[in-house]
Amino acid sequence: MNLSARYSNAKDKRGTLLPTITACALLVLPGCGIPQLRQAMPGPALPEGFYTANNAEYFQRPASSARVDESTHLVNYVSAASQPNLPPALNVVDPATGSNMGDGGPYAGPMDARREPIGPGIANAENSSAIGFLEFFNDPALTSLIEQALVGNQELNILAEEIRIACNEVQARQGEYLPFATLGAGAGVEKYGTFTRSGAVEDQLEIAPGKAFPTPLPDFLIATNISWELDIWRKLRNAKDAAALRFLATQEGRNYVVTRLVAEIADEYYALLALDNRLITLDRTIEIQQHSLEVAQAMKAAGRSTELAVQRFQAEVRKNQSEKLIVHQEIVEVENRINFLAGRFPQRVERMPVQYIDLYLPALGTGVPSELLMNRADIRQAERDVAAAGLDVQVARARFYPSLSLNAGVGYQAFNPRYLFFTPESLIYNAVGELAAPLFNKNAIRADYLTANAKQLQAIYNYQRTVINAYTEVVNQITKVDNYGKSIEIKKQQLTALEASVAAASELFQSARAEYVEVLLAQREMMETRMVLIETKRQQLGAVVNAYQALGGGAVQQDFPCILPFFGHDAACGVGCSYPEVLVTQ
């Protein structure tokens, strides 16, 4: 008796132990052999100021590399990809300090961030990116063109649709981790052969006392089914969060194009003003040369000069008249570029009458380089791409683990519609739980995981490149504004001297104390200097416009409503931001 009981207990234990071992194997074995992720090379520390040749010592000194956080380092959003229940996707260690570059602390500000002037017309006490384009340009004709472009530019409209597509992707991803329910109805007919097992059984059974199965047998069904994949490894929620981040990245991409569009229209507008001033210069030069031609003709008639002087002055007049036609063509092309950017057909572009050489835009405030991380839309876009790529790694990693799905259904089924809703006779239901895990031949999953890791590294390197490029753009433009401004002042002095030399040469030529060649050379040099001065001024204004854009200026708020879910953890957001349940674009 005892022997039989012990045998029965051992059998029961074996029956319980085997499913336990099987379940543990399903949970443990799939996680074996997950490849190790590659690490990104750390980027350079962001300097505390903008380097210029005029102030090289201060602006070359980088911020402390020991303070690694969202605002002072280029590689910092790796931790945004990690989850509490999974190891970090990437651990990037700064070889100089030994610190983990993914562990960002609260931003304490750049070390000793002084506010000093960089050059004439450039002060970094404030950041000019906070100034709207209406206030910065203060030209009704230019701001009207920009406003038209913000509405009519086709590229912006295309990007707006890209944002809506990204929003739809978020909604699709959000629906994947919710239960999926279907409701269906069906009707059919079925007949088994008499000499088959099913047919023989039907012949022996009765549906009701004294009533055999109808032949053929009708079948009527109405039922609902529910299927649900339980997101136990956050695979679906991470995919949803990645889609939400890509929506925000797409939004920032459009914001960056807006700043580029504002800068491009402003640059073309000032180029148009420069061409207008070139025409004015040519008209004045032709007027002066026409007067010199008349003097040469009078002196020839008086026998005090030769036909050579007359023809040389005549040739100079014709040359400048020809140049005017070329400038007119350039004006047409610049106007049409502006019209294209504004999304309209060729037409005359209105511009304000200004003293071009004395035209000045507001002094630039550069702020500190760490502000670029918040003000530049392309940097914010790259930041969100890094966070999304980190979540993609977690999605790919979760595919190594078992997936648990539930399926259930309930409905009514009968051979006659009259009996269809008889309860419980016609009631049918089922419930199934399924746990499936990959055990062998995981090459496809492993390849997807490594691909996600490679794309994450690409996103990090792209972020580093974007920040370096933004910093370089600011440095290039602010030094250009400074140097071209100094060049303009020198050119003005040169022009004043040449104007005096032209007047003196003309008087001496009229009194036969100077050759006509001296008059021609003086007039030509004066015109060329004016042209160079106009071009230098155009380059300076273009540098101010591009510096304004490089600092993040010219952004325009536009709303793209999209319902975004809460992120699974705050780190997925990026730099100090939080996303509400219903988000309207910033």
Could you tell me the two tokens for 84? 């509490």
For residue 430, the model assigns a pLDDT of 94
For residue 110, the model assigns a pLDDT of 28
Does residue 121 register a pLDDT over 90?
no
More confident residue, 430 or 308: 430
For residue 413, the model assigns a pLDDT of 92
Percentage of the residues of the chain whose pLDDT score is greater than 90:
45
Q: Are residues 464 and 74 in contact, defined by beta-carbon separation less than 8 angstroms?
A: yes
In terms of Cα–Cα distance, which of 371, 311, 368, 333 is closest to 124? Answer: 368
Does residue 38 register a pLDDT over 80?
no
Determine which of 115-129, 290-304, 558-572 has the lowest per-residue pLDDT on average: 115-129
Q: Does domain 180-230+410-432 have CATH number 2.20.200?
A: yes
Cβ neighbors of 280 (< 8 A, separation 6 or more) are none
For residue 145, the model assigns a pLDDT of 97
Tell me, what amino acid is at 331? Answer: I
In terms of Cα–Cα distance, which of 171, 174, 119, 143 is closest to 479? Answer: 119
For residue 586, the model assigns a pLDDT of 31
* Arithmetic mean of pLDDT, 129-158: 93
Q: Are residues 61 and 50 in contact, defined by beta-carbon separation less than 8 angstroms?
A: no
pLDDT digits (tens, 9 = 90+) for 448-474: 999 999 999 999 999 999 999 999 999
140 prior amide bond cis, ω within 30:
no
Residue 159 — very low, low, confident or very high, per pLDDT cuts 50/70/90?
Answer: very high
Distance of alpha carbon 445 from alpha carbon 454, whole angstroms: 14
For residue 565, the model assigns a pLDDT of 66
For residue 579, the model assigns a pLDDT of 38
For residue 281, the model assigns a pLDDT of 92
Determine which of 12-21, 33-42, 84-93, 152-161 has the lowest per-residue pLDDT on average: 84-93
Q: Where are the domains of the chain?
A: 180-230+410-432, 277-356+490-549
Superfamily of domain 277-356+490-549 in the CATH hierarchy: Outer membrane efflux proteins (OEP) (1.20.1600.10)
| DSSP structural state of residue 253 | H
- Report the chain's mean pLDDT, rounded to a whole number: 79
pLDDT digits (tens, 9 = 90+) for 58-82: 333 332 222 333 333 333 333 333 3
CA-to-CA separations, 186 to 189, 261, 419, in angstroms, rounded: 11, 58, 15
* Arithmetic mean of pLDDT, 286-299: 85
Q: In what order do the strands lie in the sheet with 427-436?
A: 180-190, 217-230, 403-414, 427-436
Does residue 8 register a pLDDT over 70?
no
pTM for this model (two decimals): 0.76
* Arithmetic mean of pLDDT, 24-52: 67
For residue 27, the model assigns a pLDDT of 59
pLDDT digits (tens, 9 = 90+) for 497-546: 988 888 888 888 777 777 878 888 888 888 899 999 999 999 999 999 99
For residue 509, the model assigns a pLDDT of 76
